Amino acid sequence: MATTPDTAKPPTKPLSLPLYVRGTVVKGLGRGNKDLGIPTANLDDGAIASLPSDFDNGIYYGWASVDRTDVHKMVMSVGYNPHYGNRKKSMEAHLIHEFPEDFYGSELSIVVVDFLRDEKSFPSLEALIAAIHADINGASINLDRNDKYLKIKQSPFFQRETTKEEEGTTDAVPAST
Ligand SMILES: Cc1cc2nc3c(=O)[nH]c(=O)nc-3n(C[C@H](O)[C@H](O)[C@H](O)COP(=O)(O)O)c2cc1C
């Protein structure tokens, strides 16, 4: 029988938090929106491979920005989704914001600030959905309450590099006196 890769190991809190990670949004298995009513943005394999070795599977939270526009609260699952017994590791973020449309192919910038819990298999789909809603509420409250986390939201990591034209400094000639 096929076995799910090891998810039972108790996570050690990563030393590498906050963790800054960027990737491209790719198609997941499509269950987030359809089964759960909770859309998730799946990151590409390169982003998953870039995770530090002490970054255990689990549920995390922090901030995220699509194409370096607005920064939103986010909750994120990293691992094999034991409820579904996936064979492939995924890293998927739910951004706490209503987007008018999908953003596959966009750049997603994420700062993970803290660990919430282990990934689990639940007795029912409803129980998984309830757990994710509790994650969202808990993460949202913690992000608002913690000045250290609020400061990270302002990180230059989320800012687009501006061109000289945008800064209005191109060919600027100092006025002669
Ligand atoms: C905050 C959060 C918590 C999650 N917790 C679990 C979990 O405990 N167990 C699990 O199997 N999957 C968990 N997931 C992953 C969902 O099962 C997954 O997002 C959903 O199946 C959609 O996957 P897809 O985009 O590949 O279709 C969680 C996802 C999020 C965003």
pLDDT, residue 143, reads 98
Given ligand 1 and candidates 43, 57, 119, 120, which is best to mutate, with the most ligand atoms within 8 Å of its CB?
119
pLDDT, residue 172, reads 47
Distance of alpha carbon 141 from alpha carbon 133, whole angstroms: 12
Q: What confidence tens digit (pLDDT) does each residue in 5-17 have?
A: 444 555 555 567 9
Q: What's the average pLDDT block by block, 10 residues per block, for the chain (177 residues)?
A: 47 74 94 89 97 93 98 98 95 97 96 97 97 98 97 95 68 44
Q: How far is the CA of 81 from the centre of ligand 1 (A)?
A: 6
Residue nearest ligand 1's atom 18 by CA? 32
Residue nearest ligand 1's atom 19 by CA? 32
Pairing of strands 19-26, 58-66: unpaired
CB of 104 closer than 8 Å to CB of 133: no
CATH topology for 19-155? Elongation Factor Tu (Ef-tu); domain 3 (2.40.30)
Q: How far is the CA of 119 from the centre of ligand 1 (A)?
A: 8
Sequence-ordered list of residues with C-beta below 8 angstroms from that of 81, at least 6 positions apart, any chain: 90, 119
92 is catalytic: yes
The answer to whether the predicted template modeling score (pTM) of the entire model surpasses 0.85 is: yes
C-alpha count within 13 angstroms, C-beta hemisphere, residue 80: 13
Closest CA to 61 of 9, 135, 7, 134: 135
pLDDT, residue 12, reads 54
pLDDT, residue 33, reads 81
Q: What confidence tens digit (pLDDT) does each residue in 91-104 have?
A: 999 999 999 999 99
